[in-house]
Amino acid sequence: MAMLEVKGVSRFFGGLAALTDISFGVEKGDILGLIGPNGAGKTTMFNVVNGFYPPSKGEVYFKQKKISGLKPHQICKMGIARTFQVVKPLQRMSVLDNVIASAFLRVKTRTRAEEIALDTIKFTGLLDDRDVISKGLPLGKRKKLEIARALATQPEMLLLDESFAGLNPAELDESIGIIRRIKERGITIMIIEHHMKVIMAISDKIVVLSYGQKLAEGTPKEIGNNPLVVEAYLGEAESA
């Protein structure tokens, strides 16, 4: 069953087509990798799914229900949580309070919210930093906090926007572990990532965007052998 279906989505900013007629689906329990050169429209795609930008054309369905046109908070309530590429911690709140704030989505009392939040930060390895004001966190931990906060809303689907960018190799391994464990919990994941090794290793399916168009779609193996992709994406990296 397709968890998320993107049907013919276009998004224009004035005369600029950031996305043109994009269609793909994400199966329940899968990890879908969304890749493409800078400016390909990956984050715009997330913003459309998450509700920040309504699509100019086309529709998005989540569990067979139309979500395009809804507000971000409604989409989050339905079960889609996201992280931001440019991390957005609630700066003057502690790590724990950040996660408590998002845990309140599904529970009423502070005690229950705190339980969920503690579980979540344990899961993401932030337990020792729970009382740190998030303004003072190093980047690696801020990225983890983004994931923790999204998870605390108890989503069925998680959108991860470059959760690995800027991490050192040790942090990278740790984060891959976290994502694999999120998948084990049965949460469907859509991920934007530039680390080709990571994306090839964890994705069940990959969608390639380039200049707002869908260039290719397939398993990591198919994508790796697709000449169009190699030219548009990997080829560029080689010449750099």
Cβ 76 to other proteins, closest distance in Å?
Answer: 4
Closest to other proteins by CB, 60 or 76: 76
Nearer to other proteins, 81 or 137 (CB): 81
Kindly state whether residue 71 participates in binding other proteins, applying the rule CB under 8 A: yes
Q: Does 101 engage in binding with other proteins (CB under 8 A)?
A: yes
171 to 230, contacts with other proteins by CB under 8 A? none
Pairing of strands 31-35, 80-82: unpaired
Residue bearing tokens 């996660």: 99
**Alpha helices (runs of H) in 124-159, residue ranges in sequence order:** 139-152
* Region of 61-69, 119-127, 145-153, 209-217 interacting with other proteins (CB under 8 A): 145-153
Q: Using the rule CB under 8 A, which residue among 110, 122, 180, 221 binds other proteins?
A: 110
Return the residue of 1, 38, 64, 108 that touches other proteins, per CB under 8 A. 108
**Rounded-to-integer distance, Cα 191 and Cα 159, Å:** 6
CA distance 208 to 225: 13
Using rule CB under 8 A, residue 141 touches other proteins: no
- Phi, psi at residue 168, to the nearest 5°? -80, 165
Task: Determine how β-strand 213-218 pairs with β-strand 57-62.
Answer: unpaired
